[in-house]
Protein backbone atom coordinates (compact mmCIF):
# COMPACT_ATOMS: atom_id res chain seq x y z
CA UNK A 1 0.00 0.00 0.00
CA UNK A 2 1.06 3.62 -0.16
CA UNK A 3 1.32 6.61 2.12
CA UNK A 4 0.34 10.14 1.07
CA UNK A 5 1.46 13.33 2.77
CA UNK A 6 0.05 16.84 2.80
CA UNK A 7 1.54 19.67 4.85
CA UNK A 8 -0.86 22.28 6.23
CA UNK A 9 0.42 25.68 7.36
CA UNK A 10 -1.50 28.56 8.97
CA UNK A 11 -0.03 31.65 10.59
CA UNK A 12 -1.92 33.96 12.95
CA UNK A 13 -1.57 37.33 11.28
CA UNK A 14 -3.13 40.67 12.05
CA UNK A 15 -6.88 40.69 12.21
CA UNK A 16 -8.22 40.55 8.70
CA UNK A 17 -11.93 40.44 9.28
CA UNK A 18 -14.44 43.12 10.19
CA UNK A 19 -14.88 41.60 13.66
CA UNK A 20 -11.13 41.62 14.39
CA UNK A 21 -10.65 37.86 14.10
CA UNK A 22 -7.80 36.41 12.04
CA UNK A 23 -8.41 34.92 8.62
CA UNK A 24 -8.40 31.13 8.35
CA UNK A 25 -6.58 31.25 4.98
CA UNK A 26 -3.77 28.72 5.02
CA UNK A 27 -1.64 26.67 2.62
CA UNK A 28 -1.71 23.03 1.58
CA UNK A 29 1.57 21.63 0.26
CA UNK A 30 1.29 18.27 -1.46
CA UNK A 31 4.01 15.65 -1.63
CA UNK A 32 4.68 16.62 -5.26
CA UNK A 33 5.63 20.12 -4.11
CA UNK A 34 2.55 22.05 -5.24
CA UNK A 35 1.26 24.61 -2.72
CA UNK A 36 -2.25 26.05 -2.89
CA UNK A 37 -4.19 28.48 -0.75
CA UNK A 38 -7.04 26.96 1.22
CA UNK A 39 -9.69 28.50 3.45
CA UNK A 40 -13.15 27.87 4.81
CA UNK A 41 -15.92 27.86 2.27
CA UNK A 42 -17.33 31.36 1.74
CA UNK A 43 -20.75 29.74 2.29
CA UNK A 44 -19.70 28.63 5.77
CA UNK A 45 -17.37 31.39 7.05
CA UNK A 46 -17.29 34.17 4.47
CA UNK A 47 -15.61 36.67 6.79
CA UNK A 48 -12.65 34.33 7.42
CA UNK A 49 -12.25 32.84 3.94
CA UNK A 50 -10.68 33.73 0.62
CA UNK A 51 -12.93 33.25 -2.40
CA UNK A 52 -10.01 32.29 -4.68
CA UNK A 53 -8.80 29.58 -2.28
CA UNK A 54 -9.79 25.94 -2.28
CA UNK A 55 -12.04 24.96 0.59
CA UNK A 56 -12.09 21.48 2.16
CA UNK A 57 -15.57 20.74 0.85
CA UNK A 58 -14.52 21.53 -2.74
CA UNK A 59 -11.37 19.44 -2.33
CA UNK A 60 -13.42 16.53 -1.00
CA UNK A 61 -15.84 16.68 -3.93
CA UNK A 62 -12.96 17.05 -6.40
CA UNK A 63 -11.22 14.01 -4.87
CA UNK A 64 -14.35 11.90 -5.30
CA UNK A 65 -14.90 13.08 -8.90
CA UNK A 66 -11.24 12.70 -9.83
CA UNK A 67 -10.96 9.21 -8.34
CA UNK A 68 -14.14 8.11 -10.12
CA UNK A 69 -12.83 9.48 -13.42
CA UNK A 70 -9.44 7.75 -13.16
CA UNK A 71 -11.08 4.47 -12.15
CA UNK A 72 -13.62 4.81 -14.98
CA UNK A 73 -10.82 5.41 -17.50
CA UNK A 74 -9.11 2.25 -16.25
CA UNK A 75 -12.35 0.26 -16.58
CA UNK A 76 -12.89 1.61 -20.11
CA UNK A 77 -9.32 0.76 -21.10
CA UNK A 78 -9.66 -2.80 -19.79
CA UNK A 79 -12.86 -3.19 -21.83
CA UNK A 80 -11.01 -1.86 -24.89
CA UNK A 81 -12.93 1.39 -25.21
CA UNK A 82 -11.03 4.47 -26.30
CA UNK A 83 -12.04 7.55 -24.32
CA UNK A 84 -11.47 10.81 -26.16
CA UNK A 85 -12.55 13.10 -23.32
CA UNK A 86 -14.10 13.03 -19.87
CA UNK A 87 -15.54 16.11 -18.16
CA UNK A 88 -17.49 16.30 -14.92
CA UNK A 89 -19.51 19.00 -13.18
CA UNK A 90 -19.70 17.36 -9.75
CA UNK A 91 -21.99 18.83 -7.11
CA UNK A 92 -21.74 18.21 -3.39
CA UNK A 93 -24.38 19.01 -0.80
CA UNK A 94 -23.67 19.98 2.78
CA UNK A 95 -26.41 18.68 5.03
CA UNK A 96 -27.26 17.31 8.45
CA UNK A 97 -26.68 13.72 9.49
CA UNK A 98 -29.15 11.84 11.70
CA UNK A 99 -27.01 12.74 14.73
CA UNK A 100 -27.37 16.45 13.88
CA UNK A 101 -23.79 16.92 12.71
CA UNK A 102 -23.01 18.67 9.43
CA UNK A 103 -21.38 16.68 6.62
CA UNK A 104 -21.07 16.48 2.86
CA UNK A 105 -24.05 14.15 2.65
CA UNK A 106 -24.39 13.78 -1.11
CA UNK A 107 -22.18 14.08 -4.16
CA UNK A 108 -23.61 13.89 -7.66
CA UNK A 109 -21.16 13.20 -10.47
CA UNK A 110 -22.28 14.41 -13.89
CA UNK A 111 -19.69 13.08 -16.32
CA UNK A 112 -19.81 13.76 -20.02
CA UNK A 113 -17.71 11.17 -21.82
CA UNK A 114 -16.75 11.05 -25.47
CA UNK A 115 -15.53 7.77 -26.89
CA UNK A 116 -13.56 7.62 -30.12
CA UNK A 117 -13.74 4.97 -32.80
CA UNK A 118 -16.47 2.53 -33.72
CA UNK A 119 -16.44 0.69 -30.39
CA UNK A 120 -19.06 2.57 -28.37
CA UNK A 121 -20.63 1.26 -25.15
CA UNK A 122 -24.39 0.85 -24.95
CA UNK A 123 -26.18 2.94 -22.30
CA UNK A 124 -26.53 -0.21 -20.17
CA UNK A 125 -22.82 -1.04 -20.44
CA UNK A 126 -21.91 2.58 -19.68
CA UNK A 127 -23.97 2.38 -16.47
CA UNK A 128 -22.20 -0.87 -15.53
CA UNK A 129 -18.82 0.77 -16.19
CA UNK A 130 -19.75 3.58 -13.80
CA UNK A 131 -20.85 1.00 -11.20
CA UNK A 132 -17.48 -0.75 -11.52
CA UNK A 133 -15.64 2.56 -11.27
CA UNK A 134 -17.58 3.43 -8.11
CA UNK A 135 -16.95 0.00 -6.61
CA UNK A 136 -13.18 0.27 -7.15
CA UNK A 137 -12.66 3.99 -6.41
CA UNK A 138 -10.41 4.33 -3.34
CA UNK A 139 -12.03 7.58 -2.24
CA UNK A 140 -15.61 6.33 -2.63
CA UNK A 141 -14.63 3.28 -0.58
CA UNK A 142 -13.33 5.59 2.16
CA UNK A 143 -16.41 7.71 2.80
CA UNK A 144 -20.03 7.37 3.88
CA UNK A 145 -21.22 10.16 1.58
CA UNK A 146 -23.98 9.12 -0.83
CA UNK A 147 -22.42 9.24 -4.32
CA UNK A 148 -24.52 9.02 -7.48
CA UNK A 149 -23.63 9.25 -11.15
CA UNK A 150 -25.86 11.02 -13.66
CA UNK A 151 -24.38 10.13 -17.02
CA UNK A 152 -25.67 11.35 -20.35
The confidence band for 49, taking pLDDT boundaries of 50, 70 and 90, is confident
Looking at the structure, tell me whether residues 44 and 115 fall in a common domain. no
Looking at the structure, tell me whether residues 65 and 130 fall in a common domain. yes
Q: What is the CATH number of the domain that holds 62?
A: 3.30.300.20
Domain count, the chain: 2
pLDDT tens profile 107-119 = 999 999 999 999 9
Nearest to 11 by CA among 33, 32, 37: 37
Nearest to 66 by CA among 149, 146, 139, 115: 139
Looking at the structure, tell me whether residues 39 and 81 fall in a common domain. no
Structural domain containing residue 44: 6-48
Q: Is residue 81 part of a domain?
A: yes
Looking at the structure, tell me whether residues 106 and 89 fall in a common domain. yes
pLDDT tens profile 132-150 = 999 999 999 999 999 999 9
Amino acid sequence: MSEHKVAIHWQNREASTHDGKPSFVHQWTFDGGITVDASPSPFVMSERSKEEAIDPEEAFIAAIASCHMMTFLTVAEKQRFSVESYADEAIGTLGKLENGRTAVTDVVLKPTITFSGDNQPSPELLAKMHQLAHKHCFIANSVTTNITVESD
